[in-house]
């Protein structure tokens, strides 16, 4: 079986927790590359867009001339993507996910919270996990009928799936549960 290469965008934000979560799954045929330049981006067959500060990440993408290459990669059919918090904001900004969002929808850093989230995923029916909402966006509207809502909180969608994309407004990498990262791994190409 050939190695699967997960890229984690590592210009700014909470990328180390994603490394730890993927490594904790104990899957042998996976390599992780921290994506910081065009060469890194070319060598991956899936990506995690972590949380952080979306405006800073966007500015750094422009500064490092990664904007075009990243959006081209994200637009590839069947290219697996896991986006959390600021990563979801980027997918909205790049029009990869057709959604309307409100940045810092629950408030600033002082309003950060942990909430119990019920996952509406067939493999995890009845499964609850902690949702860490840190300056999290709110999804106000979904414009694409192919986007499935896999979890809600306070009446708002907080976990989405569209084909090869999983996106959350919260930080699943901080939770004890590995359900969302396992779901992402299941999107990776199989030999």
Decide if 85 is catalytic. Answer: yes
Q: Out of 69, 152, 171, 176, which one is annotated catalytic?
A: 171
pLDDT digits 0-9 by tens, 27-74: 888 999 999 999 999 999 999 999 988 999 999 999 999 999 999 999
> First CA to last CA across the chain, in angstroms?
6
The pLDDT value given to residue 1: 44
- Catalytic site includes residue 53: no
Q: Which residue of the set 53, 173, 176, 181 is catalytic?
A: 173
Q: List, as one string, the DSSP characters of the chain.
A: -PPEEEEEE-SSSS-HHHHHHHHHTT-TTEEEEEE-SHHHHHT-SEEEE--S-HHHHHHHHHHTT-HHHHHHHHTSTT--EEEETHHHHHHHHTTSS-EEEETTTT-SGGG-EEEEEEE--GGGTTEEEEEEESS--EEEEE--TTPEEEEEETTEEEEEEETTEEEESS-GGGSS--HHHHHHHTTS---
- pLDDT for 70-79, tens place per residue? 999 999 999 9
Place of tokens 């009845």: 126
Of 18, 53, 85, 181, which is the active-site residue?
85
Name the nearest CA neighbour of 83 among 148, 143, 164, 5: 164
CA 104/CA 60 separation, integer angstroms: 20
- In the structure encoding, which two tokens stand for residue 35, read together? 């994506």
Is the pLDDT reported for residue 107 higher than 60?
no
Task: Report the C-alpha gap between 57 and 55 in whole angstroms.
Answer: 5
- 124-137 pLDDT, tens digit each: 556 778 888 888 89
Domains of the chain: 4-185 (3.40.50.880)
């Amino acid at each position: 079986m050939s190695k699967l290469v997960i890229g984690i965008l590592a210009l700014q934000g909470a990328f180390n927790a994603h490394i730890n979560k993927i490594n904790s799954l104990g899957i042998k045929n996976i390599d992780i590359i921290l994506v910081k330049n065009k060469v890194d981006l070319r060598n991956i067959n899936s990506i995690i867009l972590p949380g952080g500060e979306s405006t800073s990440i966007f500015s750094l993408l422009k500064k490092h001339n990664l904007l075009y290459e990243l959006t081209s990669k994200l637009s590839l059919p069947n290219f697996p993507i896991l986006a959390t918090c600021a990563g979801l904001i980027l997918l909205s900004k790049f029009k990869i996910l057709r959604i309307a969002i409100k940045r810092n929808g629950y408030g600033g850093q002082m309003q950060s919270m942990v909430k119990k989230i019920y996952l509406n995923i067939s493999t995890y029916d009845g499964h609850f996990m902690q949702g860490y909402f840190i300056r999290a966006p709110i999804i106000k509207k979904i414009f694409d009928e192919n986007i499935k809502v896999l979890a809600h909180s306070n009446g708002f969608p907080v976990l989405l799936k569209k084909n090869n994309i999983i996106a959350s407004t919260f930080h699943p990498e901080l939770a004890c549960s590995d359900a969302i990262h396992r779901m992402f791994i299941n999107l990776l190409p199989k030999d």
